[in-house]
Structure 1
Amino acid sequence: MWDNHRALGSLANFLLLASLFMLLYAGGVWLVHSPWFPVKKIQIDGALRKVTPEQLKYIAAHELSGTFFTLDIDKTRAAFEKLPWVREAQVRRRWPDTLEISVVEHEAMARWGGSGLISTQSVWFDAASDAKLPVFYGPPGSEKEMGAMLGQLRAALAPSGLKPAVLTLSARRAWRVELDNGVKLELGRGDVLARAERFARHWKGSLAALGYRIETVDMRYPNGFAVRIPDYKGAAGKRTQITAGATR
């Protein structure tokens, strides 16, 4: 082989090309990791109402690391999505030194008992709000079901002028609604919306005209409903608790 000048020439050319390749690769690695390409600008877009500039600045200062080329996009996105009100964050590089971050916030639809909020996408998230929101009480995993029912009950109860304030779903999938005037509706299982619509039809015409504080209206009867009026006084003048009925 050592007497074969052609083979030696080919080997020398191969070694030269390999050396050049390794040199270019090492130079590229050094260039990518060098401080010559820092992220100098962070541009944040989105209609932000709950996420504060201070929170975003804190994430940028403490969670972002690396150069323009080495910064971990997925890790950066996850860091911003840890903020309580952030539903989604998208991160993009823009040459030569800018990081673009688009933030989408949660929009609260209801409270989940005494812990966290439910978004308009029926997703639980851990945040606080001073807004007046309906409250959900239900089994774990029922967020979407309760979110859908809230919208349907609002439409069904609209003729009464009343709105759901507390929505409860039992483990047996029975529904109970407390309205914004304090009246509680027992809607049970099955024809829940039909019962709510029947209540709405009778509220202004008969129930609201009773002249007493109504505590509960049980709509689970097939052809009527029962009304609980704890402050009603009987014929003897004593405070009693009665049940009143009404037909279709």
Structure 2
Amino acid sequence: MIDKRVQLKLAGLMLIMLGIIYSWPNIQNSIAAYVPIRYVQVEGAFQYIDKQDIKMKISPLVQAGYFSVDLKAIQQSVMSLPWTESIQVQRIWPDRLKLRIYEQKPVIRWQGHSLLNERGEVFKPVNIDRFQSLPVLYAPDEQRQQLLQVMYGLGVSLQDQGLYLAEFSVNERQSWLVSMENGLTIQLGRHQPLEKFSQLIKALIVSGGELVNKMMYVDMRYPNGYAVRWRENEKIDW
């Protein structure tokens, strides 16, 4: 049999534990009040993210205090900024939060209204008009990442010939159309477009830069050659 004094002690201990459990929210708030977050350290190389936007996002969340602050909520809040690619959040004793933020790096415009990063992920900042100098990709969404890699390859090959890619379009029928900054448009079609492009590059090398600059439109869809439309008022010497 358990001694009555032991029973009383156990009962008292249980009452104390129940009291702590019942009052834990108040205790937690008290701890948070005594251990506030005094500093938020933000790290990252920012070209487009405004630190004031970060402050507005996290200020209400850090009021919870060092122990109670919801790190996941802070991550989600900062990730809602369109220029945030990823974020790491950690507590640093005794009163600091450290945020390491990685910014999106736009490589091309997507469908004319969004941007793609180097992994082919879509993001849409408020104003993309300042990125008109980036080439644009029009294509079915499910082919976005694959065609981004193709676009890289096309761009490098064209730059070797002094041409700069402005637009790469693949329609629902898988027909490829490539446009340059100088206004030259190349129709590659949907049958073996990469092979057609390789043939085009060989033809451009043979033609020389001066003749290429006189071209307005090249149609590579012919089985045994290609057709060229020349710019107006251009004299062609063969």
The TM-score normalised by the length of structure 1 is 0.81
Instruction: State the distance in 1 between where 2:35 and 2:13 align.
Output: 28
Matched, 1:171 2:172: yes
User: Where does residue 47 of structure 1 map in the other structure?
Assistant: 45
- Indicate conservation of the 8 Å contact 1:133/1:165, yes or no: yes
Alignment of 1:60-209 (within 5 A): 60-127=58-125, 128-129=127-128, 130-131=130-131, 132-206=133-207, 208-209=209-210
Seq. identity, %:
25
Q: May I ask how many residue pairs the two structures share in their alignment?
A: 230
Instruction: State the distance in 1 between where 2:221 and 2:102 align.
Output: 42
**Which has the larger displacement, 162-171 or 218-227?**
218-227
CA RMSD, 1 decimal: 2.6
Instruction: State the distance in 1 between where 2:62 and 2:142 align.
Output: 34
Give the superposition deviation at 1:40: 1.0
**Which has the larger displacement, 69-78 or 29-38?**
29-38
Instruction: State the distance in 2 between where 1:41 and 1:11 align.
Output: 49
Question: CA-to-partner distance for each residue in 1:169-206, whole Å, 9 max, x for gaps?
Answer: 10112211101221111112243222222212222432
Question: CA-to-partner distance for each residue in 1:1-57, whole Å, 9 max, x for gaps?
Answer: xxx6x3533422321221333355467643432211211110111111111222222
Matching residue's letter, 1:76: I
Higher gyration radius (CA): 1
Provide runs of 4+ in structure 1 moved above 6 Å. none
Matching residue's letter, 2:219: D
The TM-score normalised by the length of structure 2 is 0.84
1:32 equivalent among 28, 32, 38: 28
More helix by share: 2
- Indicate conservation of the 8 Å contact 1:77/1:91, yes or no: yes
Instruction: State the distance in 1 between where 2:212 and 2:195 align.
Output: 26
Matching residue's letter, 2:194: L
Instruction: State the distance in 2 between where 1:120 and 1:38 align.
Output: 39
